[in-house]
Amino acid sequence: MKTSGFAVAGVLPLAAALPSWLDLAPRQASTITVDLTKTYQTMDGFGVLLLRIPAREPHHEHVGQDQATTPAGSTLQHHLRRWTVYYPQRHRLEPDSTSDHMNTFAPKNPGGPKATPQYSWDGKDSGQLWVSQEAYNTYGVRQIYGDAWSAPGYMKTNNNEINGGTLCGVTGTNCQSGDWRSAYADYLIQYVKYYGEAGVPITRIGFLNEPEFSPSYGMNSNGAQAGDFIKVLYAALQAANLTSQVGIGCCESEGWGNQVNMMNGIKSAGAESMLAMVTSHTYTGGSNSPMNTKVPVWLSEQCDLNGGWSTTWYGSGAAGDGYTWANNIYNAVTGTQVSGYLYWEGVQWPSPNTNEKMIKVDQQAPYNIEVSKRLWAFANWSRFVRPGAIRVASSGGSGVKSAAFKNVDGSIAVVVIATGASASNVSIKVSGADAGTITQATAWVTDASHDCAQTTVSLAADGTLSGSVAGRSITTYHIPAPVAPPA
């Protein structure tokens, strides 16, 4: 919310753990029914951001890999990466990547919106290019989203890269310097090209961040103004033959209600169909119902900004508890039907000592890390609900709530969260024309004592799964692609 960032991807081999923690007292199992014939949204995936790893620092590889390759961090398998195209940290514009401030590659006014732009690309992008290359080449992230928080200052009504101001040329502006909409669109497209030349294909581009107030780190826009620019950017992408690769995202509003208002303006401007996704934060409020759009929606930034650093799974339901985030994701996926869900900071220094990060890393060698339970809450979703998965109906079960998904490879993931302190025995029955014959399954639990650890699951001859869900836990049942019934 307050700074720039980006995300990486990692994979941890599935590891077994003894289920000695289970309460084996007999209990009546309740049945969760998964109906493959009733479908909802398609999932783009889950992710986090990394913040300000200076390109000049030789240790940035250690920091970047904390979440990608350590036994703890690699369990969170990211599918999405969001980072900042341009961000003037600390009220000043940095001309290169020698500090931990995000920088623009067009710091100088070329003399007007129709003048040849004076681009200056250093091939580092404040360390973000390296992380993008690692995410793409090493860890297989394929959804790459670059988001500009502001146009360069000379393109705005306040002639400043910070403290609000609006892009010159959109509805309601009258700048002596002229109409900078096309120049800003060209700027964003050039960024896509720079990354493409470095082997990283950007798939989504945004141009705002929390635009409904005058932030010290961005610019203003209402929905009508956003719709105005979306048309210009879409036309520029068409002219550059990039529409098959790059889609537009908007508008990174502070909260769900803010984004609803933005969407109303975008619709009125006739620009909704030009969007590839709608993006929102939840700092000023969330929702229990879907967004007013047919475009896929991402909750692209959330965290606990205020709570002191905590690695607790469940205390008293605090905002930074891992169990809280297991439920937050559930509510977003099932209630608001989002397709993408990203936490704010993946890895961050000890300061600020808050829960806005998942992993805390020291700034000095040997760069010791401390992992929060929030990471493991994400792991129970992201390791098993893969990009392209379709959410399907799930119902039933006592003392639990569930969400089910069918992945592109035919495998099925059923995420089950205990709603109270008591353990529950559950049975899972998959129905539908594509159910096939279930011959194997695994189960993975995160709670106060376990970090996405394998636990026991029984499989009946008819394909029904049975297992125990610990109190205040998240347990994910993964079913490999069922054997198709004979023709």
| pLDDT for residue 122 is more than 60 | yes
The separation between CA 420 and the C-alpha centre of its own chain, rounded to angstroms, equals 27
Query: Does the domain spanning 45-387 belong to CATH 2.30.40.10?
Result: no
- Rounded to the nearest integer, the mean pLDDT of the chain is 87
Residue pLDDT, tens place only, 339-368: 999 999 888 899 999 999 999 999 999 999
Name the burial class of residue 482, with classes exposed (0-12), middle (13-18) and buried (19+) by CB atoms within 10 angstroms of its CB.
Answer: buried
What pLDDT score does 208 carry?
A: 96
Please give the Cα distance from 335 to 165 (Å, whole number): 35
What pLDDT score does 11 carry?
A: 29
Radius of gyration, alpha carbons of the chain: 23
Q: How far is CA 230 from CA 79, 106, 170, in A?
A: 25, 21, 10
What pLDDT score does 85 carry?
A: 63
Name the burial class of residue 70, with classes exposed (0-12), middle (13-18) and buried (19+) by CB atoms within 10 angstroms of its CB.
Answer: middle
Q: Which residues pair with 299 in a beta bridge?
A: 280, 341
Q: Which residues pair with 257 in a beta bridge?
A: none
Mode of pairing for the β-strands spanning 400-406 and 390-396: antiparallel
What secondary structure letter does DSSP report for 265? H
Task: State in Å, rounded, how far the first CA of the chain is from the last one.
Answer: 53
Q: Could you identify the residue written with the tokens 């709608």? A: 278
Q: 395 near 465, Cβ under 8 Å?
A: no
Please give the Cα distance from 132 to 92 (Å, whole number): 25
Alpha-helical regions (H) of 11-147: 60-66, 128-133
Region of 200 on the Ramachandran plot (φ > 0 left; ψ -120 to 50 alpha; else beta):
beta
Domain boundaries, given as residue ranges, for the chain: 45-387
| pLDDT for residue 245 is more than 50 | yes
Q: 206 near 249, Cβ under 8 Å?
A: yes
Residue pLDDT, tens place only, 394-412: 999 999 999 999 999 999 9
Please report the DSSP string for 248-262 in residue order: EEEEEESSHHHHHHH
Please give the Cα distance from 421 to 427 (Å, whole number): 19
What pLDDT score does 52 carry?
A: 55
Residue 467's identity, in one-letter code, is: G
pTM exceeds 0.75 for this model: yes
| pLDDT for residue 210 is more than 80 | yes
Q: Could you identify the residue written with the tokens 């297991």? A: 326
Secondary structure (3-state) at 142: coil
Least confident window among 106-115, 289-298, 324-333, 425-434: 425-434
Region of 123 on the Ramachandran plot (φ > 0 left; ψ -120 to 50 alpha; else beta):
left
Least confident window among 60-69, 268-277, 403-412, 476-485: 60-69
Nearest to 277, CA basis, from 291, 264, 289, 287? 291
The average pLDDT across 375-379 equals 97
Residue pLDDT, tens place only, 127-162: 889 988 998 999 899 999 999 999 999 999 999 988
Please give the Cα distance from 388 to 261 (Å, whole number): 28
| pLDDT for residue 84 is more than 70 | no
Secondary structure (3-state) at 146: strand
Q: Is the dihedral of CA 447, 453, 456, 457 positive or negative?
A: positive
Secondary structure (3-state) at 429: strand
Please give the Cα distance from 245 to 195 (Å, whole number): 13
Q: Is the dihedral of CA 337, 338, 339, 343 positive or negative?
A: negative
Nearest to 211, CA basis, from 230, 194, 186, 192? 230
